[in-house]
Amino acid sequence: MRVLIFGASGMVGQGVLRECLAADDVTAVRAVGRSSIAQRSGKLDEVVVPDLHDLGSVADRLTNFDACFYCAGPSAAGMSEAEYSRATYDLTVGAATTLAKLNTAMTFVYVSGSGTDSTEKGRVMWARVKGRTENALLRLPFRRAYMFRPGMIQPLHGITSKTKSYRIIYSIMGPVLPALKSLFPNAITTTEQVGRAMLAVARNGYSKPLLDARDINSL
């Protein structure tokens, strides 16, 4: 299996990349992002694109892939709806539209979030934008598309978030997260479980397109 990863430098993306590199049936991984990542592996290479809104110049390097794991996306904190829409809806759907044209047999997996609003009409701005993004992705002509909606994600194997506020939260909650996960197994997942679940749906599909933490953990 040949895999594309968007957002491999983020917390979720790091976890997904780790699992892809460890999987025997993944023969090639290509990380797409604005800057280079520190990870090195014989089956990993990179496409550095300063403006991810325009993938035309690297289209020839985005073909013949079996799956795309889209883990990129900013926090909505401090952003207007227009700004967040451009960084979330415009960027994600634009990239996915390009990939759908280049890889008709591709499985596309998007990291959304718990509480995403599929009606696109709720009061919470980020949830509306994420819902609109999910709905647009599900209309694209991929072989299969899945929207992952995890709740809290526990970073493992030394992985950290690039967002300062998240790093503070995880540093405070880190010691109790394993206990919370045992008490609330369907509310918390891990970077390892997210990566393995993405590989599972790419290999075998899943019974529904929207997956919450319970689905992710069961996979």
Read off the pTM: 0.91
pLDDT at residue number 130: 98
Categorize the per-residue pLDDT at 154 as very low, low, confident or very high, splitting at 50, 70 and 90: confident
Contact partners, residue 145, CB within 8 Å, separation at least 6: 107, 108, 109, 110, 137, 138, 209
pLDDT tens per residue across span 52-61 = 999 999 999 9
Tokens of 187: 């509310």
The C-alpha atoms of residue 9 and residue 136 are separated, in whole angstroms, by: 25
Q: Which residue has the higher pLDDT, 71 or 157?
A: 71
In the chain, domain spans:
2-218
116-146 residue pLDDT tens: 999 999 999 999 999 999 999 999 999 999 9
pLDDT of 174:
65
* pLDDT of 196 strictly over 70: yes
pLDDT class for 22, splitting at 50, 70, 90?
A: very high
Report the alpha-carbon distance of residue 9 to residue 15 in Å, rounded: 9
Cα separation of 159 and 142, whole Å?
30
Tokens representing 218 are 């069961």
Q: Which amino acid is at 3?
A: V
69: nearest Cα among 102, 112, 39? 112
Count Cβ neighbours within 10 Å for each residue of 56-91 and write b for 16 or more, e otherwise.
Answer: eeeeebbeebbbbbbbbbbebeebeeeebbebbbeb
Class of domain 2-218: alpha beta
